Amino acid sequence: MISEAELRRVAGRQGADPMLVDLDYVLGCFLATLFRRDEAAALCFKGGTCLRKAYYADYRYSEDLDFTLTGSIDREALEGLLEAVAADATDEWALDFRVRPLHVHVVNDDYGKESYQARLYYRGPLRRTGNPRAIRVDVTTSEVLVFPIRARPILHPYSDAADLADVRVPSYDLMETASEKIRALAGQRRYAISRDVYDLAQLVDREGLDALRLAVALPPKWQVKGLTPGPLDLERLDVRRDEFRQDWDQNLLRLLPTSTVADFDLNWGKVKALLTDVNRQWPGGAR
């Protein structure tokens, strides 16, 4: 484990909350320990944390771990795996993952499909009193992957990075991530999550994104969640614009280094332009 002094230096250099940097460090250590175990081959890393820890070292911070189940593992086996990883990570990194018991629960995702969820409590390099912090772990059990799984290194901008260099994490392809972000925005997610807007706009900026390939990928992503495939309802999305803006101000900006400029309207425009292009490529035409 790195020292608290190093952690605070990194936080100062990046203009970030030390608690976010503490969590980022812990996420890297936990991922390395997890994917050194054979049983973890049943999990594919995804979401905003995957973008930061597997693709872009300068990406926004993230606070949870998201996976899609690609192999056979039930709730009890998953709980046993996470408990074993927590114990190994405690021993290997001198982090404390034993401050509270870990339990895996069966929950419904945003589409009413069964998934697994756990909270992993920890104490990292940042020495602080009070209750331990928690990492939420979400494992989706009903998903279809349209693009190839990518084996990615763990991006870990700390002095012990060499200790993670051997690990490769099965991760979503960036187009897979984009397709699920589009589904989250245009599907039936109950809450307006501005991270979806930011992440999709970032993928537009960094990767370009092929609207035709996305249009082809989206129907099976709809069907697996019980949604009827069809052109994206952009009018419905526009109705929720203020909800996304409010969440942006409350929950997205705090995840960014102070040097990062993130204008909601600019990012919203990039996302709307992409979704409009996807609709043009959709069989049957746009709404």
The lowest-confidence range among 210-214, 223-227, 244-248, 280-284 is 280-284
pLDDT at 188 over 90: no
Amino acid, res. 155: L
Confidence of residue 128 (pLDDT cuts 50, 70, 90): confident
Confidence of residue 192 (pLDDT cuts 50, 70, 90): confident
pLDDT at 34 over 90: yes
> For residue 284, what pLDDT is reported?
63
Tell me the average pLDDT across 33-58.
97
pLDDT of 136-158, one tens digit each?
999 999 999 999 999 999 999 99
Name every residue whose Cβ is closer than 8 Å to that of residue 53 and which is 6 or more positions away in sequence: 24, 27, 28, 31, 45, 62, 154, 155, 156, 169
Burial 249-272 (b: 16+ CB within 10 A, else e): eeebeebbbeeeebebeebbebbb
| Residue with the larger pLDDT of the pair 224 and 109 | 224
pLDDT of 70-83, one tens digit each?
998 999 999 999 99
Q: Write the DSSP symbol of residue 162.
A: G
| Class of residue 205 by CB neighbours under 10 A (exposed 0-12, middle 13-18, buried 19+) | exposed
For all residues of the chain together, what is the average pLDDT? 94
Tell me the average pLDDT across 23-39.
98
> For residue 261, what pLDDT is reported?
87
CB 183 within 8 A of CB 157: no
Domain residue spans in the chain?
Answer: 4-172, 176-281
pLDDT above 70 as % of the chain:
98
> For residue 131, what pLDDT is reported?
87
> For residue 127, what pLDDT is reported?
84
